[in-house]
Amino acid sequence: MIALNQLLRPHILSLTPYSSARDEYTGSVGIFLDANENPFGSASGSGNYSRYPDPHQGAIKQRLAGIKGVRPGQIFLGNGSDEPIDLLVRATCRPGQDSILIMPPTYGMYEVSAGINDVNVIKVPLTPDFQVDTDRVLAAITENTKLIWLCSPNNPSGNRLQDQAIHTILEAADQSLVIVDEAYIDFSDAPSWTTQLDRYPNLVVLQTFSKAWGLAALRLGMCFASEELIHVLNKIKPPYNISAPTQTLALEALDHETDKNEFVQRILAERTWLTNALQTLPSVRLIHPSDANFLLVQFDDAPGTFTHLIDQQVIVRDRSKVVLCEGCLRITVGTRAENEQLMHVLRHKDAPVASADLPLGTGEEAQRPEAVSNA
């Protein structure tokens, strides 16, 4: 059993949260003169947003609980996954004293959140095949290590982490929170770690609406954990952290889970297509196996390829300076037209003369007006 009074920062344990107007009266009928809202409407041109949203997102949690097979009280929703990542650090880590443990190469936000909060970061790199170095991880944990971050499927390598390693860490580090970030779980055929929540009170699972659900612009992240821990996150979150439009659209999306599943199937088919296409390029040295919606690809000249792609307005992520990703670019799987365009530009770099005659801009236009991603 994890001791929350050891895990949490003492002042968080004793904190009295802000009580919002909509905490103190939760009915939906009546004349609402309690929250200093505008009774006439919104200066937005269209739509009415004059009322504060449900601070606890009850409708989404009810619906999500059924879909995910958890209890509503085991769900926290955040303004992106960024919010639970930050709240977990702030709830548990005393600045200048406590630490988190990460396994590079991995998602950058864990370290950034620790940095913002002046919290030490212990780094135990993954093995060269991007698996957990379990003995080293266990040896690196101290009594001040509050959070252990695992990302599976991992960003930027794309692979799942072995179940056994995660079980071992969950059992050994029973006074730390072990967080499994499953941002890419929909693209993998493995079951979610949410099935293990009742077995491990120190387990936290993160998922997101930003990838398979196609709702990155809404900023909505899911965090699943014990009811006790979710209660703490609710105490320290900004009262109305999920906007009303986001709640409405997320609830709608949950009625269209089959659309999400169809997107996943299309992306997986494109991932196979892109893998096969990349394999034909002489400049491609290695395509790492992927359980996600992107490929980590090693090129003969990654920085040169990256610049060449940018020149042709194809934007990928340069990971060539990242530990264990030397020479690699991370490429998100696009539509067929986008993937063909990517291949066209890459072929042109490998053999400028041979493919120079091929027309650019085959097929449908890219669907995104701005191809910008900070993930």
In the complex, which residues of this chain contact ligand PLP (CB under 6 A)?
A: 80-82, 107, 151, 155, 181, 183, 208, 210-211, 216, 221, 375
DSSP strand pairing (99-102 vs 145-151): parallel
Q: Closest CB to ligand PLP among 78 and 281? A: 78
β pairing state of 328-332 and 294-299: antiparallel
**Identity of the residue, 122 or 216, whose beta carbon is nearer to ligand PLP in the bound complex:** 216
Beta carbon of residue 209, minimum distance to ligand PLP (angstroms, whole number): 7
* Cα radius of gyration rounded to whole Å, the chain: 23
Q: How far is the CB of 373 from ligand PLP (least distance, A)?
A: 9
* 64, amino acid identity: L
Complex with ligand PLP: residue 35 or 375, whichever CB lies closer: 375
Residue with smaller CB distance to ligand PLP, 257 or 300: 257
Burial of residue 76 (number of CB atoms within 10 Å: 0-12, 13-18, 19+): buried
CB neighbours of residue 90 within 10 Å: 16
22 vs 330, which CB is nearer to ligand PLP? 330
In the complex, least distance from residue 182 CB atom to ligand PLP, rounded to whole angstroms: 8
**197 φψ region: left (φ > 0), alpha (ψ -120 to 50), beta (else):** alpha
- Spatial separation of the C-alpha atoms in residues 126 and 149, rounded to whole Å: 12
Phi, psi (degrees; rounded to nearest 5) at 198: -75, -15
* Least distance from ligand PLP to the Cβ atom of residue 169, Å: 18
Residue 212 · residue 263 · CB < 8 Å: yes
Residue with Cβ nearer ligand PLP (254 or 345): 254
Closest approach, Cβ 292 to ligand PLP, in A, equals 8
Burial degree of 218 (CB within 10 A; 0-12, 13-18, 19+) = buried
Cβ burial, residue 308 (10 Å; 0-12/13-18/19+): middle
For ligand PLP, the closer of residues 8 and 87 by Cβ is 87
Q: How far is the CB of 229 from ligand PLP (least distance, A)?
A: 19
Closest CB 108 distance from ligand PLP, rounded Å: 9
For the record, the structure tokens of 264 come out as 């996943």
What is the distance between the alpha carbons of residues 229 and 91, in angstroms, rounded to a whole number? Answer: 10
Nearer to ligand PLP, 57 or 208 (CB): 208
181 or 318: whose CB is closer to ligand PLP? 181
Is the Cβ–Cβ distance between 203 and 196 less than 8 Å? yes
The span from the CA of 344 to the CA of 366, in Å, is: 14
The CB-nearest residue to ligand PLP is 80
Query: And the tokens for 157?
Result: 């390598």
Minimum distance between the CB of residue 317 and ligand PLP, rounded to whole angstroms?
Answer: 11
Of 150, 132, 130, nearest to 298 by C-alpha is 130
**Secondary structure of residue 184 in the 3-state scheme:** coil
Q: Which among 85, 91, 65 has a CA at the least distance from the CA of 11?
A: 91
| Minimum CB–partner distance for residue 375 and ligand PLP (Å) | 4
70 vs 292, which CB is nearer to ligand PLP? 292
Q: How far is the CB of 208 from ligand PLP (least distance, A)?
A: 3
